[in-house]
Each structure stands twice: as structure tokens, then as C-alpha cells.
Structure 1
């Protein structure tokens, strides 16, 4: 994918720091993709390991930038950086919470970087050059390890004064539901993220099963998988239907690993129609055009030099 750029535009490095994988992207000044690669995110080894992995990904991309050329670096994170303290907050990768990730990275790299919420990066990318292009108000959804959202209005991402606009993942929809790391119970994230569905399956059946396997088992007719997957679709419909009733967006774009589940665009859409406050719901619910990690493009575009 390319994006228009002038001869004076910098090279752009984007990093999408996810709960499972970290993706790096290098764009030429004309928008051409020069590098795009993924690696596992070392969350199990803690904050300093994640910091080192992100810094290494930036350095590897920078090594392909010609000497003396301008270069911008942007990083999408599963949370946000508090503008007053500089500390990460609201991150489902909890080892980041309370850490000065931006300043630590700038010290490691010896240069400026920009940090932005990963769902905002995803929504920006899809509205700029993907499935959300041409729509006025777009709600972008990330359904992966966690569950996040972003709002883009006429091509501009709305962050809000607390930088939490679109964070539907922490709307509590079931006060009696599972505990969420944010301190509430029954958040959207506990219902329709990959980790949430897997945790619910393990609690009910005493067996650890990956979301991919639950979906595959449903297609094979395995009863436990069918029950868990049906609950997932109903939760998806209830959560997104309620969100549409509040925002009434021109389009919804799904991203993250779970956006590759084809049933979301058939049975899932029917559940959304069932729960939205309209008897003829016409809101298009679209699969991303830029891939399940499109946010890495948004991260590159918001980068600092």
C-alpha cells in the first residue's frame, strides 16, 4: 500500500506493539513499503524486555534509511500515554502500566518518537486508505488479545481530553461477569477478545483452548466449542449493537486477529441487528482492507522526527 507524499516527506517507521506480536513497518517518502515484519512480543519477560524489543525493531528499520535522510518514528500501543505524567495507562499489556515508555524509548534511541493508542492508529489507517475511506464517522474495532476502539470523524481521529475516546473495551456490560484487569467486571474485553473467550472456555470446561481452535471446533460441530462460539457471537452483537445505538456511525471497520473470523460478517452481523436500536439497521460492518495489523500504518503516519 502506498500513500501520497512529497519529495520533502521523511521516511516513516511504524511499530504496532500488540499483546501477542510486535510489527515493524518502514515507508519510503513516496509511501512505498520497504520493510514489514513481525516478531513475538516478550510480555512474559516484563517491561524491560518489551522496551528492548521495540527499540531493536526501530533500530533495524532505521538501518535501512539512507544516511542523512529525514525519518519519523511512531508507535501504536494498547493503551495511552498520560499527557501530564508521561506514564502509560489503560494498557491491557499490564506490564506497560505506569511506565514512561515514550521517554524510555527516546533515551534508548536518542531521538523523538510519537506514541498513540493502537486502535486510533488502526482507525486512522483504515479511514485514510482502507475500508473506512469515504465515510464520515467511522468506529474502528480491534479484536485481538484485547478489545479496543477508535473514532474517526471526517478523516480526523478523536482522542478526547482523557485520550480514551472509543475505548468501548472497558464498558461493563455484565456486572456479574469475569473480573477485568481494569478493576471492573464483565467488560466488553472479557466477552469478545480472544483472551476473554479463551478464559471463559477454560472456566466452564476446565481446558485451555485457543480462540482459533474454538472457531475450528465450531465448524466441526464440537458441542462445547459451538456453545462458546455462539455466546461469543451473541456478546459481539450485544456489545456492537449497543455501541451503534449510541454513535450511529456511518461505518464500522473490524481489525485485529479475530476480524479474520468469517462468521462475524454473517451470523455476527445478524446478532448486531438484533441488539441495535433500529428495526432496519444499515450500518456497514466491514472487514479491514489493510490487514489485521493495519494499525502499523497509522503508527507510521503519526510519527515524530
Structure 2
């Protein structure tokens, strides 16, 4: 049995897992952002109310990067936890084993074990939500490299400076990570909005651009064409390096089947391996993949 949490900047969701596929929701509480004692208290309150035996392990999916060498976490949107050795500190405070992993890694783990990646040895989970992220799972285990940054294909100055058919020049937009020209600046929702404004001088939310594209709007179609071109090359390179045989896509754009199908077609044109079947696919676990991934993490790590 595992008490699993999915922690973001606005809320903490929790469930009691008897297996990775058998989760009982434990509700949602606000995330204390500036008071670590309150943060610990919120987790303790949910864990104590779960009705699990004393000492039941806790597994956490969180929007932050965990350094496997030090257990320290970088989580800018939860300042009270930023820079702490979150797992060990929570374990000491709560008197339970605590396992912590990045939310994109937990998404990839959930899809690898219970979702679209089931039966595949190497899975790359790609997040196309507000920004671009990802995680690598091999043989049912998260690959967590130096610094905790494995799978972060959204960052690094690798985005093309021209894209689309016909090609159009794309600026090297500054990225929140401090670099310029990252895939994160032109991928996913905010990237779509940035590209549409660059192409047509119009500010629209990504949902409106997608709806216009689906309705046959030529300007929205142009934006989608440019964005797919910008995403497909870096993702193909990732797959050539990692060797994943399936890429479940999560986040808001992962729910747009037509978008994922276009990305899949372009990626399969650019990888070394030739495939007739889809490679880049919508995620299958649309309900609480963070909690499912945390549960799998807990059962795997607790048995180690």
C-alpha cells in the first residue's frame, strides 16, 4: 500500500494505492507555498487521514527537478520546498519512507507501466502542455541522470531558425531557463501562441488557435504547420539517441488527436528507424497520471 501525492503550485492531490491500477482518491488541499511547516502539515494531514497502516510509504510526483546525487529539489513555484532535500526531510518529519520524483518522469512512468507504453521496453513520455517536458523510462524504471535533468528535451538552444512550408524565419526567442532558441519557446501551448503572434501579429490563446485550425482557418493551419516542423526535428533526435519505441504525449496538446497524428507523421519521416505504425501517440491515462506514476514509483522503490 502506498499513499501517493501529485503536488503542483496550486494544489496537492492524493490517493491511497493498493496497486498502481487501484487508487482511492483522498481529495485535494491547497499547496502551502511559503511555509515549509505548513507544507509538511498538509501532507501529514492527508496521510494520517488515509486509514493506512502506520509507516505506509509516501510517493510524490512534484513539479520540480530532483538531483539524484543529493536528493535536493529545484521547484521555483513552491518556494518553501525549493533547495531542500525534500524526500529525506519529509521522511524524518513524517516517520515514513518518502519517495519523490519529477511530475514529467511520473507521467512517463505511468504511461510506460499502465498506459500507451505497456509492453515497450523504452518509453519516452513527452509533455506538450504549458511548456515542453519529458521523461525516460527503461524496463519500468525512471532514467534520472546527472542533476535530475534526463528527458528535458524542451531546453537547449536547438530550435530551428526557419520552419514551415514555405519556410519562414523564426527568431531565437528568449527562454525562462536563461537561454535562447529552446524548443520550449516554440513548442506546446505558449509556443503556439508566440508563433501565431509572430506570424500574424494576433494574440490568441492556444485553445482558440486549435479550434480555428480544426475549423479550416488558413492562418491557424499555418501556425500549426510551423510548430509541427519546429517540434519534429528535436523529438526525432531524442528518439534516435534514446531508442524509445513509443512516445505517449501528455499535456493539453496531447489531447488533440489530430495534432499528435501530424507530429507522429513528421517525426517518423526524420528518425533513422522506419516504421509503419504510429510512434508518437496520445497518452492513454487521462485520469490522474501523476498519482498513478507516484504509486508505481512507490511500489517500485519500496520493493528495492
User: How far 1:261 moved relative to its partner?
Assistant: 0.9
Task: Give secondary structure in 2 for the equivalent of 1:168.
Answer: coil
What residue ranges of structure 1 are gaps of 5+ in the alignment?
Answer: 1-9
User: How far 1:170 moved relative to its partner?
Assistant: 1.1
Q: Give the alignment partner of residue 126 of structure 1, picking from 111, 115, 125.
A: 111
Bigger Cα displacement from structure 2, 292-301 vs 144-153? 292-301
Output the TM-score relative to the length of structure 2. 0.77
Distance 1:21 1:263, change over 3 A: farther
Alignment partner, residue 168 of structure 2: none
User: How far 1:132 moved relative to its partner?
Assistant: 0.8
Q: Give the alignment partner of residue 192 of structure 1, picking from 187, 191, 195.
A: 187
Asked if the contact 1:123–1:295 (Cα under 8 Å) also holds between the matched residues in 2, the reply is no
User: How far 1:48 moved relative to its partner?
Assistant: 1.9
Output the TM-score relative to the length of structure 1. 0.77
Q: Distance in 2 between matches of 1:222 and 1:49?
A: 48
User: How far 1:243 moved relative to its partner?
Assistant: 1.8
Bigger Cα displacement from structure 2, 22-31 vs 72-81? 22-31
Bigger Cα displacement from structure 2, 117-126 vs 31-40? 31-40
Q: Distance in 1 between matches of 2:73 and 2:158?
A: 25
Total equivalences in the alignment: 289
Q: Distance in 2 between matches of 1:208 and 1:37?
A: 36
User: How far 1:239 moved relative to its partner?
Assistant: 2.4
Q: Does 1:60 align with 2:46?
A: yes
Alignment partner, residue 250 of structure 2: 255
User: How far 1:119 moved relative to its partner?
Assistant: 1.9
Alignment partner, residue 25 of structure 2: 35
Q: Distance in 2 between matches of 1:257 and 1:209?
A: 16
Q: Give the alignment partner of residue 140 of structure 1, picking from 107, 125, 136.
A: 125
Q: Give the alignment partner of residue 48 of structure 1, picking from 27, 34, 38.
A: 34
Q: Distance in 2 between matches of 1:81 and 1:145?
A: 20
Bigger Cα displacement from structure 2, 77-86 vs 131-140? 77-86
Q: Does 1:233 align with 2:228?
A: yes
Distance 1:224 1:94, change over 3 A: farther
Task: Give secondary structure in 1 for the equivalent of 2:286.
Answer: coil
Distance 1:234 1:59, change over 3 A: farther
Alignment partner, residue 243 of structure 1: 238
What residue ranges of structure 2 are gaps of 5+ in the alignment?
Answer: 162-170
